[in-house]
Amino acid sequence: MRHYCKSVGKFYAVLLLACCSLAALPATAANVRLTVFDCGIIHVYDVRTFSLTNEETTVRELFVPCYLIEHPDGRLLWDAGLPLSMVGQGLIESPPDMAMALKLGLYTGQRLGDVLKMTWADYDGTAIRVVQSKTGERLWIPAVGELRAALAVWPRQGLLILGLKRPTFRDHWRKVILAAGLDGLTFHGLRYTAAAKLAEAGCDVRQIAAITGHRSLAMLQKYTRGADQKRLASAAILKLERTEQKRKPENFGKLRE
């Protein structure tokens, strides 16, 4: 309860002061009336926007009040609103921390432990430096445009980019996966996806290894086999279509020329 009061107090301090001010008005202002409505509950996975740490409180459901101020000169409907950084984030389906973790995992191809350890000092605005915990491999990974844009507006609160401990992350990840109907999807699967996307873009295994840090090219080839198969199959069908096009009667004269 103490954490809940502390959280709500920080969110609506200004509104509470306004209520106290109205209560202190003289009796002559009795025709000014304030009505408080219950506008529902919001579910917040990342409370750092409200000057709290995610470890400081377990409160994730917040009461949203709305106010109707009736005055002789008119009426004013006032809601508490949300910080601009939270608007459009999909608070229930896509918690901000999970969205950022997804981008970091997908665009760097790193394991969960290494993603959670990424610090702001590792990021220079263009690339992220990583020392892989499992292998000790040192990597310099250029950040793609979408990742740079996300990091540019991500709040810098503390040394770590994400600021989540592994148990907290796994709890959030599990909730998001279940809500999306993707039970069984693991964060490590993003590492596979990153390698496959690079292969589909035409990168060879050495270029992919420069991003993911794989030392075993045989393991990397297992990850990229699907993309290689698609590329070879596409090339085969293209050759077939060209051959079939040449065999059409209307093209015989063109071939003799």
What is the model's pLDDT at position 230?
80
Q: Are 114 and 130 in contact (CB under 8 A)?
A: yes
Q: What is d(CA 87, CA 118) in angstroms, rounded to the nearest whole number?
A: 26
**DSSP H or E stretch at residue 145:** helix 145-153
Average pLDDT, stretch 103-119? Answer: 94
Q: Which of 200, 177, 201, 207 is nearest to 189 (CA)?
A: 177
Q: Is the pLDDT of residue 123 over 60?
A: yes
Give phi and psi for 61, each to the nearest 5. -110, 125
SS3 category, 132: coil
Q: Which two tokens stand for residue 59?
A: 């409160």
Please report the pLDDT score of residue 159 as a whole number. Answer: 93
What band does 23 get if pLDDT is binned at 50, 70 and 90? very low
Mean of pLDDT values over 152-177 = 87
Task: Please compute the mean of the pLDDT values over residues 32-49 and round it to a whole number.
Answer: 67
**What confidence tier does 13 reach under pLDDT thresholds 50, 70, 90?**
very low
Do residues 90 and 45 lie in contact, with contact meaning Cβ atoms separated by under 8 Å?
no
Residue 109 binned pLDDT confidence (cut-offs 50, 70, 90): very high
- What pLDDT score was predicted for residue 254? 55
Q: Give the pLDDT confidence score for residue 157 in this predicted structure.
A: 85
Mean pLDDT across the chain: 76
Mean pLDDT of 204-222: 85
Query: How much is the pLDDT for 45?
Result: 58
State yes or no: pLDDT of 1 exceeds 50. no
248 band by pLDDT with thresholds 50, 70 and 90: confident
pLDDT for the residue 231:
79
- Contact indicator for 183, 177 with CB cutoff of 8 Å: yes
**All domains of the chain in start order, with CATH:** 2-86 (no CATH), 96-218 (1.10.443.10)
The confidence score (pLDDT) of residue 124 equals 95
